[in-house]
Amino acid sequence: MELTITQPDDWHLHLRDGVLLEAVAPNSARHFKRAIVMPNLKPPITTTAAAVAYQESILKALPADSDFTPLMTLYLTDTTSPNEIKLARKSGIVFAVKLYPAGATTNSQDGVTDLFGKCLPVLEEMVQHNMPLLVHGEVTDPEVDVFDREKVFINTILRPLVEKLPQLKVVMEHITTLDAVRFVESCTEGYIAATVTPQHLLLNRNALFQGGLQPHNYCLPVLKREIHRQAIVSAVTSGSKRFFLGTDSAPHERQRKECPCGCAGIYNAPVALSLYTKVFEEANALDKLEAFTSFNGPDFYGLPRNKSKIKLIKTPWKVPESYAFASGEIIPMFAGQTLEWLPSIVA
């Protein structure tokens, strides 16, 4: 059995920098035509000039024959200026601004502490330039249970934001709950959308603890109950235009995952398309796969759909146990396991 679909884009990707960038960029470029690249480096990508330099680094890390296009983002801070949004739009390479609540996830310590008090002029400028806001949708209040952080964020931050700026385009990244599904579906189509990862479609929070603590299944937002996983699967396989592919592939060196304070992030770039296809096949919705992987994202961003194609062949293949690079190794999602769908670029 084979499927041929329009080549997908990845609308939420971490490529890191340095030797880690060189190790992981080719794996994303092998399957995806474009990707929205996250700006949470050290230091973060807070200016258009920094985004230009980072894009150049990514392009240098790609194989010589690659036509992969990194779509850059800016890291929103309390001091981001409206003029920076004008520069970003004029650059032609920056396509969104990322909101990290301070302390919410990896390298988010420079994130926003007061969205409405300090960032409103920037958000209003983004409306003028049709620049999407990409949201890590979790509160960071230590009094809030970690499994409720997304739900509380929706009620205290996201819903008021949408009411205050209804023309602002917002992508709720890597949604994990029934609450997020219901929120996105309740909003005006074309203004609020969501990306969905392979891990949140296939794993529930049991995967963190089965057979002992599983650090390579630890990501943020953390995996949730089975009822939430099922709700997300139903949403993405329904054919709704509001949901699209965003892997949140987040590589960390093995020793930084398997340590007393392990990093959050799942490296899924080599297996993502295989896993999305598995989800849609199990839901008897393979006819809806192409829209989710290849149409809904560019349509929301106002970008052309890709012309290139990719073939998905139903044939068993084994995921490598690890990927070696200059400073160590990276463990991919479902390492050592056999998957049933093998992506192959159509020449």
For the annotated catalytic residues, the residue numbers are 12, 14, 98, 136, 174, 248
d(CA 30, CA 250): 17
Which one-letter amino acid corresponds to residue 201?
L
* Contact partners, residue 76, CB within 8 Å, separation at least 6: 97, 98, 99, 100, 111, 112, 119, 122, 133
d(CA 229, CA 203): 7
> What Cα–Cα distance (Å) separates residue 170 from each residue in 131, 209, 219?
9, 33, 22
3-state secondary structure 58-108: HHHHCCCCCCCEEEEEEECCCCCCHHHHHHHHHHCCEEEEEECECCCCCCC
From residue 219, alpha-carbon distances to 47, 113, 204, 214, 272 in Å are 27, 22, 12, 11, 15
Name the DSSP class of 10.
E
Helix-strand-coil percent breakdown of the chain, rounded to 5? 40, 20, 40
> 54: Cβ–Cβ under 8 A, 6 or more apart, which residues?
17, 37, 39, 41, 45, 72
DSSP code, position 31: H
Task: Determine contact, residues 24/16, Cβ cutoff 8 Å.
Answer: yes
Best CA proximity match to 109, nearest among 43, 38, 60: 43
To which residue do tokens 């680094």 refer?
57
> 96-121 in b/e burial notation, b at 16+ Cβ within 10 A?
bbbbbbeebbbbbebbbeebeeebee
